[in-house]
């Protein structure tokens, strides 16, 4: 960012009120972080007017700061005039999670599940309406698929995503639904809130979810949810592979070890990440 841009922003901000909960007295960087927080924690992409109402910053300053964030790849500006988290954030996140204690806790359990099934194992966390992949153990016979550590996938058409949704309170699910666009990736993809909610009810009852070639043709998985006691952290673990090798009957058999893996991870999370006295 240019020094002239910073000085202009500071000049504009002198007249701004600092009495809202999202303002930070940390200069330009603090204001940029406020904008990142607003956009990344929103359940759906935000328009400029939405951010203007929340950020309590002058219109001109806000426009420039959002432009800087888009230029740096930290935010994306889509064809409908909305701001969403940028791909560069995923790179930061993947590097951070590589050293994260949760990932270290889960790693031996993912490896054990991989040894038992021989197929690709994923660990993901729910962020807004997307699943962010935190870890991946490749199968003995790797198959080309979308998932990579740091990648984001829609929650409504992935096993981990639907598993994660199944442990959200109903009011939180209802808040997410308006932001889901239900893009049809394959003929099996959910295209309505009604069909998704019906399946989420089934998943909540059984404790496991399936991806029946809903995100990628020819790819199936079985998944189970992982969550913290206060539901502030929700994700899941899955076993994924090609449909020609993973019949639905086999995935049904693997539902139990996948659920056991999720339970072991949660048990260890409570012990190692619980309140320190």
CATH number at residue 140: 3.30.450.40
In a domain, 80, yes or no: yes
Q: Which domain holds residue 178?
A: 89-272
* Same domain flag for 223 and 124: yes
* Same domain flag for 38 and 116: no
Q: Among residues 85, 109, 134, which one ends one of the domains? A: 85
* Same domain flag for 146 and 219: yes
Q: Strand order of the sheet with strand 75-77?
A: 46-47, 82-85, 75-77
Tell if the pTM clears 0.75, that is, is over it: no
Residue written as token pair 């000085």? 7
In a domain, 172, yes or no: yes
Alpha carbon distance 171, 124 (integer Å): 22
* Same domain flag for 220 and 206: yes
In a domain, 277, yes or no: no
* pLDDT per residue rounded down to tens, the chain (277 residues): 333 333 333 333 333 333 333 444 446 787 888 898 889 888 889 999 999 998 888 999 899 999 999 998 899 998 889 999 888 887 676 566 555 778 889 999 999 999 999 999 999 999 888 898 888 898 776 665 555 666 788 999 999 999 999 999 989 999 989 888 899 999 999 999 999 999 999 999 999 999 999 999 999 999 999 998 888 789 999 999 999 999 999 999 999 999 999 999 999 988 876 654 3
Alpha carbon distance 223, 155 (integer Å): 12
* Same domain flag for 201 and 101: yes
Q: Among residues 68, 85, 102, which one ends one of the domains? A: 85
From the list 175, 124, 179, 177, the residue with the least C-alpha distance to 152 is: 124
Partners of residue 221 on adjacent β-strands: 211, 240
Q: Among residues 85, 104, 120, which one ends one of the domains? A: 85
The CATH code of the domain that includes 55 is 1.10.10.10
CB atoms within 10 A of CB 41: 10
Query: Which tokens in the block code for residue 190?
Result: 């959910």
Per-residue pLDDT, 103: 85
* Same domain flag for 197 and 130: yes
> Are the C-beta atoms of 115 and 83 separated by less than 8 Å?
no
* Same domain flag for 98 and 44: no
Per-residue pLDDT, 167: 95
DSSP string, 204-244: HHHS-EEEESSSSTTEEEEEEEEE-TTSSSEEEEEEEEETT
Query: How distant, in Å, are the alpha carbons of 2, 42, 138, 253 from that of 36?
Result: 19, 10, 33, 43
């Amino acid at each position: 960012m240019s020094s002239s841009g910073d000085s202009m922003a500071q000049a504009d901000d002198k007249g701004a009120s600092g009495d809202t909960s999202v303002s930070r007295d940390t200069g330009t960087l603090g204001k940029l972080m406020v904008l990142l927080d607003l956009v990344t924690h929103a359940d759906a992409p935000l328009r400029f007017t939405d951010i203007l109402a929340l950020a309590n910053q002058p219109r001109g300053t806000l426009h420039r700061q959002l432009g800087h964030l888009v230029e740096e790849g930290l935010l994306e500006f889509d064809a409908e005039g909305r701001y969403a988290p940028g791909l560069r954030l995923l790179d930061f996140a993947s590097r951070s999670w590589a050293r994260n204690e949760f990932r270290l806790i889960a790693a031996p359990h993912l490896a054990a599940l991989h040894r038992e099934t021989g197929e690709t194992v994923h660990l993901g966390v729910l962020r807004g309406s997307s699943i962010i992949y935190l870890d991946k153990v490749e199968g003995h016979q790797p198959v080309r698929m979308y998932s990579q550590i740091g990648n984001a996938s829609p929650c409504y058409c992935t096993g981990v995503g639907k598993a994660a949704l199944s442990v959200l309170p109903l009011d939180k699910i209802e808040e997410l639904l308006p932001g889901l666009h239900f893009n049809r990736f394959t003929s099996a993809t959910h295209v309505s809130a009604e069909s998704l909610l019906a399946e989420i009810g089934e998943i909540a009852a059984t404790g496991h979810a399936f991806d029946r070639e809903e995100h990628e043709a020819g790819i199936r998985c079985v998944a189970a949810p992982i969550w913290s006691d206060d539901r502030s952290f929700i994700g899941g673990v899955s076993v994924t592979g090609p449909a020609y090798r993973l019949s639905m009957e086999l995935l049904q058999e693997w539902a139990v070890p996948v659920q056991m893996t999720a339970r072991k991870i949660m048990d260890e999370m409570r012990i190692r990440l619980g309140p320190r006295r």
